[in-house]
A = this chain, B = another copy of it.
């Protein structure tokens, strides 16, 4: 999975995505295990879809540090479980109230609200259980990785960003406020994905860690800018979720603050920043570069 030489980016991505599907399925209790409805709904929320951007980042950063496959699999599954739980909760009626996700009915629609609440709660616990089961890194490193995940997920990371997002509906944010919100809401977990992949292997020096930090910051922002552009320009069928929802919900976005053209230009500049941050790494960071391109150039 960490070979960057003869395998095309598309084949490498498909390989990670296939590995993820199989590994995450194995890291969840069987759909028949009691309570069966909860376990079936957890599988519905986690498996069978998604671009797996965060796992791809874990594996791509793991290629830089030489992380062991089993450690990368568990770290990648853990961040994806955190991401999946956040989608389940964000879609609930008391939050974004969305019926469609990845082209499927959202969990509270396919099941019910109480189940959706528990699915999210249990996926978060499972993320920590899965990461804590990694065996390819020294325990002290694993503890540090668990802290990175917990902090990225919590009130100073993803949950904090979501709280700011909810409080921003109808407000006119400055670009700085919008950026801070997204650095928490989306950026924190993307950054954690890169960090966890990097921590899974050999020790990186301070300059290398700073380079990965700069890379993460650039792609984290780019990811959100492109999301806003797509929400304003693509249709629901392409997105697999309800398009035009930000404007309908009166949410501040890069498009509403900067305009469409400047947002597209910003995303491209961030893509180049991400590449520049990786200059010191040479070929080992090829997958990270390709992921920066993917994040900015995606159509959904």
Contact = CB atoms under 8 A, between A and B. Distances in A.
Contacts of A199: none
A159 B85 CA distance: 14
Interface stretch (A54-62, A143-151, A236-244, A288-296): A143-151
A155 B94 contact: no
B113 A163 contact: no
A166 B115 CA distance: 9
Q: How many of these chains are in the complex?
A: 2
A198 to B, nearest CB: 18
A29 B244 CA distance: 35
A39 interface: yes
Interface residues of A, number: 52
A132 B118 contact: no
Contacts of A118: 155, 159, 162-163, 166
Contact of A126 (B138, B142, B154): B154
B125 A163 contact: no
A166 B118 CA distance: 10
Interface stretch (A30-38, A64-72, A246-254): A30-38
A46 to B, nearest CB: 12
Nearest to A115: B163
The binding surface of chain A is classed by DSSP as helix
Given A35-B163, A129-B154, A160-B34, A95 B117 contact: yes
Interface in A107-135: 112-115, 117-118, 120-122, 124-126, 128-129, 132-133
B155 A125 contact: yes
A28 to B, nearest CB: 8
A132 B143 contact: yes
A117 B92 contact: yes
Nearest to A108: B94
Contacts of A167: 35, 37
Contacts of A160: 34-35, 38, 122
Nearest to A145: B132
A153 interface: yes
A139 interface: yes
Nearest to A156: B29
